[in-house]
Amino acid sequence: MRKFLFIGITSLFLLGQQAVAQEYVFKILANKGNNAYRTSETGADWQPLRTGASLSEGYEVQIAEGSYVGLIHASGKTHELTTPGSYDVDDLASTLTSGSTGVAAKYADFVLTKLNEEEVDINANYGQFVNATGAVERATNSSKLKLMLNKSTKVYGSEVILRWAEGEESESYVITLYNIFDKVIQEQEVEESTMTLNFDDEMMQGQHFVKITVQVLGSDSLISDPYGIERLPPGRIQSISDEWTTLQGEIQEETPLNYIVKAGFFEEKGLLLDALTAYEKAIRLAPDVDSFRELYQEFLVRSKLAGDTEEDTSEN
């Protein structure tokens, strides 16, 4: 009898925990503009919407002209609001398709949890954050170019985006790729402080490790230290591929919100360059939404990719 009583109490407790976990319907991943929400408790009083806020049953959201709100459902499905007007949260939830396992929600929560842990005011710390993205911090004749990655790093994806602090007066850079034997694979000139490296390119066939340097065109002194980038070994890839496949199945569309969720996945796995790449892609899809830049900037700061870095901290 006591055994059955214990099982019954335990079941009720677990159900209660599940109910608490499902209190929200949506969470706000991104917010641009003077958007607001209200509940049955607040009546007609509209409250400012903010990134990280939760929206529960009975809530209503108001989208202003020229605004953007990025939502993630408790199931992990993402939804964007760009058309001005008022939206009932329950109605929005009813339009989403089922079939989610909650993996996307897990990594969206990871990003938002990190955001709440930092408790950083972007506006109050503007200088710190623009330095983090290289918008202000520039290389001088007495300093080396710094890439936003560890000196030795491993990657999961075949395509990664590299970024570095800009030179003082130059708009052109020479990128040199070396193989494991220090033989030059390719030299490439670019006019921006970023480039895309794809291990599936013809010149990269058979290369599982590359070393890269960045140099200001025409300067012998403004050059970076060498940075090593290595594809994960097959065993490590296999250990995370099942969950990655599930996540991709839940967020199939190429949207900035989905790339933020993917960034959370890679950061949680310690794959910081893959995470950086996902943030870069999110911003390229929605360059006018500051929330994505802020999430990216905070990631760079907490991951220490904005300053001097040494060894890769990802799982082997």
Pair 202, 76 in one domain: no
Q: Is the pLDDT of residue 13 over 70?
A: no
| Residue-level pLDDT at 113 | 85
Pair 78, 177 in one domain: no
What percent of the chain has pLDDT above 70? 77
Other Cβ atoms within 10 Å of 15 Cβ, number: 10
Pair 56, 143 in one domain: no
| Residue-level pLDDT at 52 | 87
Contact 279/259 with Cβ under 8 angstroms? Answer: yes
Tell me how far apart the alpha carbons of residues 252 and 245 are, in angstroms, rounded to a whole number. Answer: 10
Pair 84, 135 in one domain: no
Tell me the mean pLDDT in the region 87-100.
84
Pair 242, 211 in one domain: yes
Tell me how far apart the alpha carbons of residues 269 and 265 are, in angstroms, rounded to a whole number. Answer: 6
Picking from 75, 99, 123, the residue at the C-terminal end of a domain is 99
Tell me how far apart the alpha carbons of residues 109 and 74 are, in angstroms, rounded to a whole number. Answer: 10
Tell me the mean pLDDT in the region 80-98.
90
Q: Is the pLDDT of residue 39 over 70?
A: yes
pLDDT: which is higher, 20 or 30: 30
- pTM of this prediction? 0.82
Q: Is the pLDDT of residue 95 over 80?
A: yes
Q: Which two tokens stand for residue 152?
A: 């030795």
Confidence band of 220 (pLDDT split at 50, 70, 90):
confident
Beta bridge partners of 177: 186, 212
Pair 129, 237 in one domain: yes
| Residue-level pLDDT at 5 | 40
Picking from 67, 99, 131, the residue at the C-terminal end of a domain is 99
Pair 139, 233 in one domain: yes
CATH code of 123's domain: 2.60.40.10
Q: Is the pLDDT of residue 82 over 80?
A: yes
Pair 233, 130 in one domain: yes
Q: Is the pLDDT of residue 3 over 70?
A: no
Q: Is the pLDDT of residue 253 over 80?
A: yes
Q: Is the dihedral of CA 283, 286, 288, 291 positive or negative?
A: negative
DSSP E strand boundaries for the chain = 26-32, 36-38, 47-48, 54-55, 60-63, 68-73, 78-81, 85-88, 152-155, 159-163, 173-178, 184-190, 194-198, 209-216, 227-231
Q: Which residues form the domain of 45? A: 2-99
Q: Could you read off the pLDDT of 222-248 as tens digits, one per residue?
A: 899 999 999 999 889 999 999 999 999
| Residue-level pLDDT at 96 | 83
Q: For the chain, what is the domain count? A: 2
Pair 192, 237 in one domain: yes
Confidence band of 45 (pLDDT split at 50, 70, 90):
confident
Other Cβ atoms within 10 Å of 72 Cβ, number: 27
Alpha helices in 85-199 (DSSP H): 89-94, 103-118, 126-132
